Amino acid sequence: MGKLNIITKGILKENPIFVLLLGMCPTLGTTTSAINGMGMGLATMFVLIMSNIVISLISSLIPSKVRIPSYIVVIASFVTILQLVMQAYLPGLYDTLGLFIPLIVVNCIVLGRAEAFASKNSIVDSALDGIGIGVGFTLGLTVLGAVRELLGSGALFGFKFIQGDGMLVFILAPGAFIALGYLLVLFNKYKAKL
The Cα 116–Cα 6 span in angstroms is: 13
Q: Enumerate the β-bridge partners of residue 159.
A: 156
- Model pTM score: 0.93
What are the tens digits of pLDDT across the range 4-63? 888 888 888 889 999 999 889 889 999 999 999 999 999 999 999 999 999 999 999 999
Say whether pLDDT at 1 is over 70.
no
**DSSP-derived secondary structure letter, 160:** E
The Cα 34–Cα 97 span in angstroms is: 12
Whole-number Cα distances in Å, 127 to 7, 36, 42: 9, 24, 15
Give SS3 for 156: strand
Closest CA to 34 of 90, 76, 79, 93: 93
The Cα 174–Cα 140 span in angstroms is: 18
The Cα 84–Cα 150 span in angstroms is: 31
The Cα 53–Cα 123 span in angstroms is: 5
Q: Enumerate the β-bridge partners of residue 155.
A: 160
What are the tens digits of pLDDT across the range 126-174? 999 999 999 999 999 999 999 999 999 999 998 888 888 889 899 998 9
Domain residue ranges of the chain, discontinuous segments joined by +: 36-187
